[in-house]
Each structure stands twice: as structure tokens, then as C-alpha cells.
Structure 1
Amino acid sequence: MLTKVRYSVKDMTLWTRWETSGFIAYSFLAVFLYEELELTFLAVPWTPIALVGTAVAFILGFQNSAAYGRIWEARKVWGGIVNTSRTWGMKTKDMVTNEYATEPETEAELKEQKRILVYRHIAWLTTLRYAMRQRKKWETFDNHFTNREWSNAIHIPEKVLPIEEALFPYLSPEELRYTMDKNNKSTTLLYLQSNHLRELKEKGLIWEFSFLELENLLQEFLTFQGQSERIKNFPYPRQYATLSYIFVMIFIILLPFGIVPEFSKIATSLTDNFPRISEVFTWLAIPFCTIVSWVFHTMQRIGVVGENPFEGTANDVPISTISRGIEIDLRQLLDEEKSSIPKQFPENKNVQM
């Protein structure tokens, strides 16, 4: 457990290393101007800086709370997809039978019908997670160098494998071509599922009540898909995101010119009793300014990367892992060989994807 904590601190430090270097350089400049060049007119009263810091803290708290709310809502949606998907597998396995069939099919043919329904559902999960990973204009995670560095390190599956190759094992060639020709591929697959269920009902392979039960599950999947798309397609209000960034930068710019004079006063008071310490004490403002600036800026960055819970960041909903977990459960339900079932996506840097 301690190892994971140290590793997380290391990752956070690497993630913000460029900003931290800038804070150190800027704080050094402020101390140099005030202490060595004696430009004491650069001092800023501490009261307005404290007021700005308080306002920044409030808006950052609002931003991070809103971002976490979006992440938590997305997690509940995909949690519902998990439960309903398991129900889909259970009901298709038990409800597709020859009990009311006009022309009974063999066990192998029934098993194939069940496999098609389950595999098409896995294809739906695949298209949905690919749709959620598509970048929107307002998603800014990849604009930052260290964000791209992190994204490349954890290898998000949807950015590595084309969707056609990901769907190939689960759909027939005709269905694959038909699905790839549509804009909303997830909805298309649910329509195909509904059409398939109707055909099975007409053959008597599904009882009418069972048909309604399975159709209700498809309706739930459409609801979950719509909820997921709503989170994806409705961004966190940009005015709040922009204002938080501007306020943080104003605070960081003002901070050294309020802290350095305070440290200089303390250094003066130490002159009689601790002359050697007083000579360098003002320079201790550099690490102090750096730490405070780092905290505010990092909180702002965390809020930004948490605004869109499907981009593939470390704090996002791991939809790739969730989808693969559902696939493993459903294919085990079909009694497939373990060697034919894909493994779960590996964790990179202790992060699920």
C-alpha cells in the first residue's frame, strides 16, 4: 500500500514537472528582483492576494465537485450496463428454446442463435466504448504534452486498434459492413438485436412473454447509451473552466510579490539573533511560493482532466476494462473454452483503462 502511494506521488510530480519548473524560476525571479536589485516597490499587500486566493479556492472546489459529479454519474451508467448485460446473457441462454417452436431446431442451432445474440451485444459494448473515446472539440486532455505522455504510457485500447478490427470477431461480414456504414453504430446494433428477436419469436423459438422481456432489456440498453452519450456530448460549461484557469494564473502571478516581502520582514527580525540565517531567509520564499502555486495549479488541472470522464485519463471511468469484463462473463456463460476468451486489459501504472 505504501509503495502505491509513493508511486502515485512520483507520477503526479512527473505529470506537473514543467509547471513546477516554471514556478521555481518565477519565484526565484521575484526574490532576485526584491532582494538583490532592491526593487521593493514590487511588493503587493497580502490582503488582496488572500482575497484572490479565497475566490480561487471556491471556484476550484466548485469545478472539482462538478467534475467528480460527472465521473460518478458516468460510473453509475456503466454500472447499470454491467448488471443489465449479465441479465441479457442469462435470459438469452434460458429463453431461446424449442418449447413453442413450429419447426424445432437442433441443440447446435439453438446454441448458435444464443451465441449470435451475445456476440452482437459484445459488439454493441465495443461500439459504445469507441464512441465514448472519440475526441470532441472541447476535450483538451491531449493538448498538454504530459497528458499525451501519460496517455501513450497506459495504451488506451481504442486508440491502438481500429474499430473494424475490434468488431470483426463478433459480427458476420454482412452485419459488419451494415454497421460500419451507419453514423450511430451502437444504435444500429440494438436495432439488429430487436429484428433478430422478432424473427426468433415468429419461429416460436422465443415465447411472446420472453420476447417482451428481452425487448425491455434492449430498451434499457438504449437508455444507458443515451445517458452515456449525454455526458459525452454535453461539456462542462466552458466559462467556468476558463475563469478558473484565469483566476489561478492571476493568483500565481501575484503570490510571490506578496510572500517575498513577508519573508524579508522575518529576515530583518532575525538579524540581531541569527545574522547568518537572516542573510538567506528571504530565499526560502522560493520553495514556499512553489508549493502553494503547485497546489492551486494542480487542483485546477485535476478538475480539467476530470471534466470529461471518457477521455482515457487516470481518473476516468474505465470503460474498456468494464466492457472486457462483461465480455468475459458472457462468453464463460456460453461455456466457451478458456483459451478462446480474451484476457482482461492489463493495468498500466496501476490504472484501469
Structure 2
Amino acid sequence: MIIRSGTTLWRALRSDWPALLYFLALSLLAEFIYEYTHLEHTALPMLPVSVLITGMSIFLGFQINQCYERWWEARRLWGQLVNVSRLFGRQVTTLLTPKRIAALADEAQATALHRELIHRQIAYANALRIGLRSGGGVGEEGWRILKDWLGDDEIERLQHARNVPTQLIQRQAQRLAEIVGSDWAEQQILLQIDDSLNLFYDVQGGCERIKRTAFPDRFRFHTHAFVWLVASLIPFSLIQTDQRFDAVAIIMETLLAFVFVTIERLGSELRDPFENHVNDTPMSALCRTIEIDLRQQLGEAEVPAPLDAVKGVLM
């Protein structure tokens, strides 16, 4: 995700300069043909092009709204994951104690349980991040990351899972069921923590819905083609009012066409927020935030620093 201070003119134009040069060349070509060949029919009537521009604006408005909604929902879901992870860490460290849970004989056993559950939660956040970016699988690099938080036996069991994050939450529930007794007070504690586990599934399901629900392909293709077609007609529809070679008119024609193409490109960049592009949800930074907060809830003094933006981009 591009942070506010990282947006520069060079960053904005770095990927768009070919389109800018294309429309500049097209505007120069239109002016040259009309001015020096005196082909009157080179100029297109403005009214039909204006109607096409109006239709294109409707398409672009719909696309931007839908793409931004997907992008913003992804960011809200990951913000919810951070907050619920903090809630889960607080519940684990304050409710699962020898005074409240009979199966916990002493503080050492309770601390070991806290460490297991919280490390598994950190693994869950990273597994979800890796799965969303890769499209499903964890991969060799992903398993190396998860080994920092999970035991070898659990890693071996997860190797056969089709959905690793789902199985991690399932294991959390199983461990809680093993520890918490049938006493009414202990069951109330279990219900509270179980509500947090349900919220993790809600977040995961929302992210998977965004990831697996593709934007309508025909709408995407036709919008892209329509924008480039109409934008390419703009220089030929504006030259009819020029009586001489006008540099200002060329610049205006270029910028007008470029604006429409840039808006369409922006919608395309926001459409899939989990692809690890510069405008996508900064899941790596959010996973680091979860790790820091949960490890400090365990009482650890030495925790890693938050991830910093690199050249204005936070991943």
C-alpha cells in the first residue's frame, strides 16, 4: 500500500508514461494530418464522440465504485483481524489461568498453553496472508515461516490440509476443549474465546470471497477496450475547432485522453487487493503488527520492529 508521503509524480507516471506518449503522438498525428494535408474529413464530429464519452464515464464510474469497495472491504477485514487477534491474546492470557481453569496445575503450565495458542494465532495470520497472495497453497517459503510458530508434528499434519488457516483455528478450538472442563464458569470462558474464533472465520471467509470472486470478465474487457477506443478518438474530434497548429490544444487533447485511461487503470489496480501490488492491502505489515502485540501480551520484551515503508510502499 502506498502511504501518503510516498506518492510522487515519478511514481504516478512511472507505469503510465507509455500511455501518455501514445496520446501525445496521436494528438500530434491528428493535428499534422488536419493542418498539412487539409483532409477535412479527418476531424470527427464532436457530438457522437461526446455521447461515447458520456457512456464511457458511466462504465468508469461503476468500475471505480466496485473496485474501491472490494479494496476497502479487504482493508477493513484485515483491520478486524488485527483487533480480534488482540482480543484473543487478552482472553488467553487473562482467562486461562490456574485460578479459573482446574486443568492448569500451575503458572508454568498456563504460560506454556498461552505461548502455544498465541504462537498458533500468529501462524494463522501469516498462513492467511500467504494463502491469499499465492491463491491457495502455502509453498516452501510459507512453510519455513510457519515453522517459526508451530511444532514439527503440527507442521506435518498441516502438510495434507487444503486450507491451512481453517485447520489452525480448528486446532485452537480442540486445544481449548481439551483444557476447559465441564464446570459452568469454565464453560463461560470457553464460550467467550470461541466467539473470537468465530470472528476469525468471518474475516477469513470475507477475504476468500473477495479473492475467489472474479470481477466480471466481459465487463472488465469491454470497459478496457471502450476506454482506449474512445480516448483514441478524442484528438480527432477536437481538431475541427483549430485553425492552426496549436500546442495548447495538443496538450489538452493528450491530457483529456490520458485522464480517462488513468482512471480505468486505477480501477484495475484496486480490483484485486491481495496480489502483493503497491496499492494492495499491506498484509505483511499487519501480520507484523499482530506478532508484536501478541508477543508483548505474552510478556516478551524483545519483539521485532514494525515493518517500514520502502520507497513509500508498505507491503
Normalising by structure 2, what TM-score? 0.91
Write the letter of the residue equivalent to 2:304.
P
Q: Distance in 1 between matches of 2:120 and 2:59?
A: 45
Q: CA deviation at 1:317?
A: 2.1
Correspondence 1:336 to 2:300: yes
Larger relative contact order (Cα-Cα within 8 Å, sequence gap ≥ 6): 2
Residue in 2 that maps onto 1:184: 163
- Shift of the alpha carbon at 1:131? 1.4
1:285, CA displacement in angstroms? 3.1
CA distance, structure 1, for counterparts of residue 104 and residue 85 of structure 2: 27
Deviations 1:104-162 (A, max 9, x none): 533222111101100000101001111111259xxxxxxxxxxxxxxxxxxxxx99x91
Aligned to 1:116: 116
Q: Partner residue of 1:68?
A: 68
Q: Does 1:288 align with 2:267?
A: no
C-alpha contact (below 8 Å) 2:88/2:196 kept by paired residues: yes
Secondary structure of 1:162's partner? helix
The one-letter code of the counterpart of 1:48 is P
1:17 corresponds in structure 2 to 17
Could you tell me how far apart the structure 2 residues matched to 1:38 and 1:262 are?
A: 14
1:162-183 CA distances to partner (integer Å, 9 max, x unpaired)? Answer: 1012111100011112223211
> Deviations 1:176-230 (Å, cap 9, x if unpaired)?
12223211000010111111111111498x9221112112211111111111111
Counterpart amino acid of residue 257 in structure 1: F
- The residue type paired with residue 282 of structure 2 is P
Find the aligned partners of 1:228 and 1:34 in 2 and give their Cα distance.
53
Gaps of 5+ in 2: none
CA distance in 1, matches of 2:75, 2:188: 32
Q: What letter corresponds to residue 291 of structure 1 in structure 2?
A: L
Give 2:305's aligned amino acid: K
Check the 8 A contact 2:6/2:313 in 1, yes or no. Answer: no
Post-superposition offset of 1:260: 1.7
Partner Cα distance (1:58, 1:193) in 2: 48
1:91-115 CA deviation, whole Å, 9 max, x = no partner?
A: 0001112225556533222111101
Other structure's SS at 2:148 match? coil
Structure 2 vs 1, CA of residues 112 and 57 (structure 1 numbering), >3 Å: closer, same or farther? same
- Counterparts of 1:150-189 in structure 2, within 5 Å, are 162-189=141-168
Number of the residue aligned with 2:56: 56
Match of 1:299 in 2: 263
Offset of residue 44 of structure 1? 0.5
Q: Distance in 2 between matches of 1:55 and 1:213?
A: 52
Note the alpha carbon deviations across 1:331-351, whole angstroms, 9 max, x for none. 11111122xx22222212322
Q: Shift of the alpha carbon at 1:5?
A: 6.9
Among residues 259, 279, 290, which one is paired with 1:326 in the alignment?
Answer: 290
3-state secondary structure, aligned to 2:8: helix
Any idea what the Cα deviations from partners look like across 1:244-301, whole Å, max 9, x if unmatched?
112111212211111122223xx3xxxxxxxxxxxx42x4432222111110000000
Q: Tell me the distance in 2 between the aligned counterparts of 1:87 and 1:352.
A: 25
CA deviations over 1:1-31 (Å, ceiling 9, x no partner): xxx6794222111120111121122222222
Which shifted more, 113-122 or 309-318? 309-318
Match of 2:175 in 1: 196
> 1:256-271 maps to which residues of 2 (within 5 A)?
256-264=235-243, 267=244
1:242 maps to what in 2?
A: 221
Q: How many residues align?
A: 310
Structure 1 residues 34-84: Cα deviation after superposition (integer angstroms, max 9, x where no partner): 222333321100111111111111211111011111112222222221221
Q: For 1:344, what is the secondary structure of its paired residue? A: coil
Aligned to 2:8: 8
Q: Are the counterparts in 2 of residues 31 and 285 from structure 1 also a CA contact under 8 Å?
A: no
1:295-337 deviation digits (Å, cap 9, x = unpaired):
0000000001111121223332222222211111111111112
Question: 2:309 is matched with which residue?
Answer: 347
Residue ranges of structure 1 left out of the alignment (5+ in a row): 137-157, 268-279
Q: Percent identity?
A: 30
Q: Distance in 2 between matches of 1:314 and 1:8?
A: 13
